[in-house]
Amino acid sequence: MLRDLLTDNDALNEGKHWWRQQFDTNEIIVREGERCGNVFVVLRGKVQVTGTVTLENRSIRPGFRTLEVGEVFGELALVDHSPHVASVIGVCPGELAVIPVDTLEEYLEDHPETAARFYRRLAKILSGRLRQTNRKMLSLLGWGLKAHGYERL
């Protein structure tokens, strides 16, 4: 989806519409609770998506998804411009394509046929992630019910 726009000579041009950003192991790329206004594509390396969980006045930051080459993050900024609900941290040294949301939106407005394909693909990605989240949530709910003795009902 986005990677195709980055490699198509008639689409987004490096330097004009997007740039490359290097990252190191354990480097925070996106910070939970902040807005950055960019969409990212992993070009090299891996990143870990983490979130803050508070248990009995103690916060932990478990990783819940690893993204590899070609995968996208920050795409929800295209939908609602809200602060990030998770942090993204480098697993190993790598490189990202950084695309400002405003630039991408402007490009898609000027290219409606590309926009239709782009948003259809984005909807598939988001629905897949929602399904995965629902499965994980139900698994955790089952674990919690069992831990509290509700499996005997």
- Across the chain, what does the average pLDDT equal? 89
Reported as a single tens digit per residue, the pLDDT across 22-49 is 999 999 999 999 999 999 999 999 999 9
Pick 106 or 78 by higher pLDDT: 106
Q: How far apart are CA 119 and CA 122, in angstroms?
A: 5
Q: What is the mean pLDDT of residues 39-62?
A: 91
Q: How far apart are CA 33 and CA 104, in angstroms?
A: 22
Q: Supply φ then ψ for residue 131, to 5 degrees.
A: -60, -45
Q: What is the mean pLDDT of residues 1-22?
A: 79
Reported as a single tens digit per residue, the pLDDT across 124-152 is 988 998 999 899 889 888 888 888 888 76
Pick 147 or 90 by higher pLDDT: 90
Instruction: Look at residue 10 in the predicted model and tell me its pLDDT.
Output: 65
Domains and CATH numbers, the chain: 2-152 (2.60.120.10)
65, 106, 137 from 144: Cα distances, Å: 21, 46, 10
**CB burial of residue 44 (10 Å; 0-12, 13-18, 19+):** middle
Q: How many CB atoms lie within 10 A of CB 7?
A: 11
